[in-house]
Chain A
Amino acid sequence: MMDILQILLSESFWAASLRIATPLIFGVLGALLCEKSGVLNLGIEGIFVAGAMAGWMAVWLGAGLWGGVIVAALVGAFFGLIHAILTVPLGLSQHVSGLGVTMFATSVSYFVYRTALPNVSSPPRIEPFQVLDIPILSELPFLGPVLFQQTGLTWLAIFMVGSVWYVMNRTPLGVAIQAVGDNPDSVDAQGLSVYGLRIGAVVAGSALMALGGAFLTMSAFDAFFFGMVNGRGWVCIALVIFASWRPGKAFLGALLFGAFDAFQVRLQTEVGALVPGQVFLMAPYILSIIALVVAARSADYPRALLTPWFKGQR
Chain B
Amino acid sequence: MIRIEPRQAPSRLMTLGIPVLSAVVALALAAIPLAFAGAGIATAYQEMFKGIFGSVFAFTEMLTRATPLIFTGLAAALAFRARLWNIGAEGQLYLGAMAAVAVGAGAVDAPGFVLIPLVILFGCAAGAVGMAVPTVLKSRFGADEVVTTLLLNFVILIFLQMMLEGPLKDPMGLGWPQSPPILDQGMLPPLMDRMRVHSGFIIALVAAGVAQFMLVRSVWGFKLRAVGENAAAARHAGIRVNRSMMSVALVSGALAGMAGVSEVAGLKGYLTADLSPGFGYTGIVVAMLAGLSPAGVVVSALFIASVFVGADSMSRAMGVSSYLADLVVSMSLICVLIGGFTARYRITRVKPLRGEGA
Contacts and interface: CB of A to CB of B under 8 A. Distances in A.
Q: Do A and B bind each other?
A: yes
Interface string A172-202: 0000000000000000000000000000000
Contact of A276 (B33, B166, B319): B166
A276 B165 CA distance: 9
B275 to A, nearest CB: 16
A24 interface: no
Q: Which 6 pairs, one residue from A and one from B, show the smallest C-beta to C-beta distance?
A: A114-B321, A103-B330, A107-B326, A278-B162, A104-B330, A111-B323
A118 B323 contact: no
Given A86-B338, A107-B330, A282-B159, A96 B284 contact: yes
Contacts of B249: none
Interface stretch (A128-136, A246-254, A256-264, A289-297): A289-297
A82 B143 contact: no
A291 to B, nearest CB: 10
B16 to A, nearest CB: 20
Interface in A281-314: 281-282, 285-286, 288-289, 292-293, 296-297, 299, 310-313
A100 B334 contact: yes
A16 interface: no
Interface of B: 3-4, 6, 33, 36-37, 85, 87, 137, 141-144, 146-148, 150-155, 158-159, 161-162, 165-166, 281, 284-285, 288, 319-321, 323-324, 326-327, 329-331, 333-334, 337-338, 340-341
Main secondary structure of the interface of B (DSSP, over half): helix
Interface in A94-145: 95-97, 99-101, 103-104, 106-108, 110-112, 114-115, 118
Given A106-B330, A111-B327, A238-B151, 19 more contacts: A92-B340, A95-B85, A96-B288, A99-B284, A103-B333, A107-B326, A107-B330, A111-B33, A111-B326, A115-B36, A234-B150, A276-B165, A278-B159, A278-B165, A282-B155, A289-B147, A289-B152, A293-B148, A296-B144
Contact of B154 (A89, A91, A101, A230): A230
A282 B158 CA distance: 6
Contacts of B284: 96, 99
A92 B337 CA distance: 7
A93 B340 CA distance: 11
Contact of A103 (B37, B152, B285): B285
Contacts of A92: 337-338, 340-341
Given A107-B330, A111-B327, A285 B151 contact: yes
A31 B155 CA distance: 22
A44 to B, nearest CB: 11
Interface residues of A, number: 50
Nearest to B2: A89
A299 B162 CA distance: 34
B168 to A, nearest CB: 13
B141 A297 contact: yes
Nearest to B153: A231
Contact of B143 (A107, A110, A278, A292): A292
A293 B141 contact: yes
A241 B146 CA distance: 13
Contact of A89 (B4, B146, B327, B337): B4
A117 to B, nearest CB: 10
Main secondary structure of the interface of A (DSSP, over half): helix
Q: Which of B166, B333, B334, B338 has most A Cβ within 10 Å? A: B334
Given A110-B326, A115-B37, A42 B333 contact: no
A285 B155 contact: yes
B318 to A, nearest CB: 12
17 contacts: A91-B341, A96-B284, A103-B326, A106-B330, A107-B323, A107-B326, A111-B37, A114-B321, A115-B321, A234-B150, A234-B151, A237-B150, A285-B152, A286-B155, A288-B151, A293-B148, A296-B144
Given A90-B341, A310-B4, A99 B87 contact: yes
A104 B338 contact: no
Nearest to A115: B37
Given A97-B337, A110-B321, A110-B323, A297 B142 contact: yes
A279 interface: yes
Nearest to B33: A111
B147 A292 contact: yes
Contacts of B338: 86, 90, 92
A235 interface: yes
B166 A292 contact: no
Q: Which of B142, B153, B331 has most A Cβ within 10 Å? A: B142
B334 A82 contact: yes
A83 B341 CA distance: 14
Contact of B137 (A97, A289, A299): A289
B341 to A, nearest CB: 5
A103 B335 CA distance: 13
Contact of A104 (B159, B334, B341): B334
